[in-house]
Amino acid sequence: MTTATANAAAATEGSRIRWSDLAPFIALAVIVILGALINSNFLSSANLVNVITRSAFIAIIAVGATFVIASGGLDLSVGSMMAFVTGIMIMVMNGLAPSFGNWAIVMGAGVALVVGALCGLFNGLIITLGRIEPFIVTLGTMGIFRAFITFMTDGGSLPIDRSLREAYRPVYFGDFTGIPYPVLITLGVILVAAFLLYRTKYGRRVTSVGSNAEVARFSGVHVGGVRTTAYVIQGLCVAVAAICYVPRLGAATPTTGQLWELQVITAVVIGGTLLRGGKGRVWGTVAGALILEVIANVMVLSDLVSEYLVAAVQGAIIIIAMLAHRFTSSR
């Protein structure tokens, strides 16, 4: 191959990759336009703020899942982990409220971060040390975490202490210069994650391990440590999402976070992260989370498709996204 041919091929490849990275944002723009055409109320400021705020939970957890999937892993337990962390957080806050007042909220949030990190560490160590497929491990912990929250709530609801509700409500319902706090927290998580994945040695190791673990190991990369750390990041992101989520409903139940793992994986995949690992797209993941929430919102605002089919539509989206990935890979 001549130099000119090689340069032309490289230019073509670079152009293809750039279009591929832009695809989630183009799809989001198209869906927003369709939503505006279907219902004029879709573009109202109140509705758009509601959509963006509601997408914050999935977006935060999906950012953590980007690290796990890019490293060649998978976590099916995030929804159940979310419920478990939420339950622990509320129990701690309720127990500390009589002695520490509103400071119990801060303490409960700290405990949530620790518990989330430990849950992620638990998943990561079993996968790396036990050499068990991530699908099997996280399928098991999904059942464990869900059983724990069901036991903690006795099959019912675990509400926040009344004395803490008013002080905690602004974390979800409040805003700073018109921007809801969950959106600001999500933006902070995104910026930290993007820096970690794109600008640090650890981020490069995540994608190298996901691309080819054996080559990475021969290059001196501690594959087990990289993957375990990715699961810890996932657990921390789940905890941050739980901190934002608790004031919304003010309680934890056995159904909290149910089927969120489907939405998280879908957001990551349609955002451009390869399910087999080796490529991670943090900003694309956020676009994927917004796409899912916008589609659900449009379904609620229109009479074209029943809102009860939201999960079916999300399932179809992940299948279509995987087919698109396979087609582009074969090309």
Dist CA 123 CA 77 (whole Å):
9
Measured distance CA(269)–CA(263) in Å, rounded: 10
What Rg do the C-alpha atoms of the chain give, in angstroms? 21
Q: What is the pLDDT of residues 152-200, one digit of tens each?
A: 999 899 999 988 999 999 999 998 988 999 999 999 999 999 999 999 9
Where the chain has pLDDT below 70, the residues are 1-20, 307, 325-331
pLDDT of residue 13: 38
Distance CA 231, CA 193 (A): 13
pLDDT for res 308 = 74
Instruction: Identify residue 204 by its one-letter amino acid code.
Output: R
Residue 181 CB: number of other CB atoms within 10 A?
18
> For position 21, what pLDDT does the model report?
76
80 by Cβ neighbours in 10 Å (0-12 / 13-18 / 19+) ranks as: buried
Q: Cα(290)–Cα(55) distance, rounded to whole angstroms?
A: 6
Identify the pLDDT of residue 272.
Answer: 87
The structure tokens listed for 22 are 């832009």
Q: How far apart are CA 57 and CA 59, in angstroms?
A: 5
**Predicted local confidence at residue 315, as pLDDT:** 78
Q: List, in order, residues 6 or more apart from 161 with CB less than 8 Å away.
A: 93, 94, 97, 104
- Phi (first) and psi of residue 277, to 5 degrees: 95, 170
> In 3D, which of 104, 90, 114, 109 has the Cα closest to residue 167?
104
